[in-house]
Amino acid sequence: MNILIYLVVAAVIGWIATMVMHDNSNLLLNIIIAVVGAFLAGYFLSPIFHVGTINSAFTIPTMLVTLLGAVILLAIVNMFQRGRAR
| Cβ neighbours of residue 8 closer than 8 Å, sequence gap 6 or more | none
Q: Are 54 and 38 in contact (CB under 8 A)?
A: yes
Q: Above 80 in pLDDT, residue 81?
A: no
* pLDDT score at 83: 67
Report if residue 86 sits inside a domain: no
pTM, two decimals, is 0.79
Domain with 27 in it? 2-81
Report if residue 12 sits inside a domain: yes
* pLDDT score at 28: 81
pLDDT band at 36 (very low <50, low <70, confident <90, very high): confident
| Cβ neighbours of residue 62 closer than 8 Å, sequence gap 6 or more | 51, 52, 53, 54, 56
Report if residue 15 sits inside a domain: yes
Domain count for the chain: 1
Q: Model confidence over 14-29: pLDDT tens digits?
A: 888 888 888 777 778 7
